[in-house]
Amino acid sequence: MIDLNHADPLTSFAISVVKKLQAAGFEAVFAGGCVRDLLLNKTPKDFDVATNALPDDVRKIFPRTVPVGEAFNVILVMSPEEENPFRVEVATFRADIGIKDGRHPEKVVIATAKEDVQRRDFTINGMLLDPSEGKVLDWVGGQKDLEAGIIRAIGNADLRIEEDHLRMLRAIRFAARFNYKIDPELWSAIQSKASLITKISEERIFEELTKMLTSANADRAFNDLADSGLLAFILPEALAMKGCEQPPEHHPEGDVWVHTMLLLKRCEGVSPELAWGCLLHDIGKPPTFSHEPPDRIRFNNHTNVGAEMAETILRRLKASNHLIEIVAELTRDHLKFKDVPQMRPSTLKRFLRNPNFDLHLKMHYFDCMACHQNLTLYNLCKSELEKLSHEQLSPPPLIGGKDLIALGFKPGPQFKEILESLETEQLEGRIASREDAVEFVKKNYKI
């Protein structure tokens, strides 16, 4: 039995959805991950309700609904609030018939609650809960596997993967997130069918990988991806980091893969941009590796090569342009920190005021803690940020384009060069007034 007497607002709304369906004479229960989370004493982030009501029945009961999967009799029920309403997904009990494309069934048919759970992926996601009574309906052994910490397929593991190839990634993600074991039968099925992952859209693969990277134990997830054979099909460039040696004086922890996994250990709850940056920051090391004794191991230009590789990988996975740009920047600039002590004031201020500097700084911290653990440069940057005001980092321009025209200059590419030079002088503290700026321009640029 589960006590839901002191539920949060989303849970309370989800309970009200179930109770209204039941009051109208229909069966209705919570289904899937929300039941698992409640049994683990975690607050679910979303709720799925399963019912024998059809979408038209649901529309008659609830004033605000949105169809989200009419082919599968799925409808979204929304709370009355105009801003940020709660949403609960309501789906009719169904059975899936046939295998269409490794992601969808040939057709769906109306079914009973007991038949509905048989089509689901893993036992820990196959339980139902009647919130009115707090009673769990478990026909698949989900509670037992939850207590034992096992990710097990419902029924035949091979068939579950044939029905939906994405379940291979989901199994690894759940196992890592909860630190559970993967059932040997399911693990064997994943290893034997790893190549099928290429039939899944890049967008769905990217979504699963991002969830892995930003959840607990991302390092375990990626080790499992490598050991299962899946990584060879979805991110072969990352496999090249395995066994790629690094100079022990800088990286006592081990090869590039070991180093990268230590960064991933810290990625729980971080932004997708930072998580992907941690995974790909050294992706350029294997192709740039060189070692000619007695010279030490080198990775010449690996940051630029890595940035190009990161962009190629993320474009292949259909990531957003915004994420691609930031991850490429994190990869390309992650060694800039070593130059901070020698940077001119103008260069340092431009680095510190970068809109993404917080991500750069966090990744630098992770990077340091994954090898030498020397935080001197990290602390230096934090100290400089605390000392410098916004105006010192981004001073307002002393003169602009109209002033240059008034001085006799014609608009063109030279304008940008002049204004950048003026800002450099400001950041260096050599000019501080409009008069200084005009004098600088007259002295250094010909009309």
Same topology, domains 1-142 and 235-393? Answer is no
- Cα 40–174–183 angle (5° rounding)? 100
Low-confidence ranges of the chain (pLDDT < 70): 1, 70-71, 97-108
Please give the Cα distance from 126 to 245 (Å, whole number): 44
In this predicted structure, what is the pLDDT of residue 102? 60
Q: Determine contact, residues 190/161, Cβ cutoff 8 Å.
A: yes
Tell me, letter by letter, the H, E, C secondary structure of the chain. Answer: CCCCCCCCHHHHHHHHHHHHHHHCCCCEEEECHHHHHHHCCCCCCCCEEEECCCHHHHHHHCCCEEEEEHHHCEEEEECCCCCCCCEEEEEECEEEECCCCCCCCCEEEECCHHHHHCCCCEHHHCCEEECCCCEEECCCCHHHHHHHCEECECCCHHHHHHHCCCHHHHHHHHHHHHCCEECHHHHHHHHHCHHHHHHCCHHHHHHHHHHHHCCCCHHHHHHHHHHHCCHHHHCHHHHCCCCCCCCCCCCCCCCHHHHHHHHHCCCCCCCHHHHHHHHHCCCCHHHHEECCCCCCCEECCHHHHHHHHHHHHHHHCCCCHHHHHHHHHHHHHCCHHHHHHHCCHHHHHHHHCCCCHHHHHHHHHHHHHCCCCCCHHHHHHHHHHHHCCHHHHCCCCCCCHHHHHHCCCCCCHHHHHHHHHHHHHHHHCCCCCHHHHHHHHHHHCCC
Q: Would you kindly state where each structural domain of the chain is located, as residue ranges? A: 1-142, 235-393, 401-444
Enumerate the β-bridge partners of residue 150: 181
Strands 150-151 and 181-182: parallel
Nearest residue to 52 (alpha-carbon basis) of 73, 32, 76, 79: 73
Q: Which amino acid is at 54?
A: L
User: How is domain 1-142 classified at the architecture level of CATH?
Assistant: 2-Layer Sandwich (3.30)
Q: Determine contact, residues 397/419, Cβ cutoff 8 Å.
A: yes
Surface-to-core class of residue 304, CB atoms within 10 Å of its CB (0-12 exposed, 13-18 middle, 19+ buried):
middle
Q: Which amino acid is at 155?
A: G
CA dihedral sign of residues 329, 334, 338, 341: positive
Task: Given CATH 1.20.120, say whether it is the number of domain 235-393.
Answer: no
Task: Please state whether 243 falls in left (phi above 0), alpha (psi between -120 and 50) or beta.
Answer: left
Nearest residue to 205 (alpha-carbon basis) of 186, 231, 182, 181: 231
In this predicted structure, what is the pLDDT of residue 259? 97
In this predicted structure, what is the pLDDT of residue 70? 66
